[in-house]
Amino acid sequence: MEFYELHPENPQIRYIKKAAETLRNGGVIIYPTDTVYGLGCDIFNKEALERIFFIKHEAHTKLLSFIIPDFKNISHYAKVSDMAFKLMKKLTPGPYTFVLPAAKDVPKKLWTKRKTVGIRLPDCKVTRMLVEELGNPVISTSVTNRKGEIYFDPEEIKRFFNPHVDLMLSTGALTGKPSTIIDLSGDEPEIIREGAGDVSMLTY
């Protein structure tokens, strides 16, 4: 596994470009987000997606969210109501995953049984630069061990994932919680998981 250390606020563009090239060539990488480290690939590479499921020991029914760089082309990936769009604009970039009805451009392996997808727009310069450089959304699933426990230390991640992952971008140890998951597929927002993102504006 190639390993690169980046400055979180002023990331070295050559490392971002290297990671994007790896994704473009069907690779699987680990990268920082505004919550925890993410395991990811280009959502349109079928072989890389299969590697993600294998590494995570997840069934294909598990919701794997993905990161978009902005809302410009969101209609390609999800059907967004006016309510959902306003809330997403208010909360992003930030530590939230939004569950939305899937649009046809998203590979069906990423659809849940309810035909929904999970979308993230994190407040992390490295992540957003990476997705912009690639030009496609990137899978975002937390880096965990087989018990589902999150790895925060890059050295631990490197030891465990070295045989399975092609490249890692590191910004040092992260201490966050996973993202808050909000279901926006219905008429009203529904909190699925409380994580790093504040949900006080949604509770009464």
Residue position matching structure tokens 């209609």: 75
pLDDT in tens, 141-174: 999 887 888 999 999 999 999 999 999 999 999 9
User: In a 10 Å sphere around its CB, with 0-12 CB exposed, 13-18 middle and 19+ buried, how is residue 95 labelled?
Assistant: buried
How wide is the angle at C-alpha 152 spanned by C-alphas 112 and 161, nearest 5°?
70
Q: Which of 125, 95, 177 is nearest to 7 (CA)?
A: 125
Helix and strand numbers, DSSP H then E, in the chain? 5, 10
- Mind listing the domains of the chain with CATH numbers? 2-202 (3.90.870.10)
What pLDDT does residue 129 have? Answer: 95
What pLDDT does residue 64 have? Answer: 85
What pLDDT does residue 189 have? Answer: 93
What pLDDT does residue 73 have? Answer: 85
What mean pLDDT do residues 55-69 have?
Answer: 78
Question: Distances in Å between the alpha carbon of 25 and those of 20, 21, 40, 108, 189?
Answer: 9, 6, 13, 21, 37
Band (203; pLDDT cuts 50, 70, 90): low
Tell me the three-class secondary structure of 16-79, residue by residue: HHHHHHHHHCCCCEEECCCCCCEEECECCCHHHHHHHHHHHCCCCCCCCEEECCCCCCHHHCEC
- What is the average pLDDT score of the chain? 91
What mean pLDDT do residues 87-92 have?
Answer: 94
What pLDDT does residue 112 have? Answer: 84
Check pLDDT > 60 for residue 59: no
Beta pairing, strands 116-120 & 65-67? parallel
What pLDDT does residue 61 have? Answer: 55
What mean pLDDT do residues 93-98 have?
Answer: 95
| Calpha distance 198→191 (Å, rounded) | 11
Contact between 169 and 30 (Cβ < 8 Å): yes
Beta pairing, strands 38-40 & 29-31? antiparallel
Question: Distances in Å between the alpha carbon of 23 and those of 44, 174, 184?
Answer: 10, 23, 29
Most confident of 24-28, 71-75, 144-148, 151-155: 24-28
Check pLDDT > 90 for residue 48: yes
Check pLDDT > 80 for residue 204: no
Q: What amino acid occupies position 10?
A: N
Residue 93: cis peptide before it, omega within 30 degrees of 0: yes
Locate the DSSP E strands across 35-185.
38-40, 65-67, 96-101, 116-120, 138-142, 167-170, 180-183
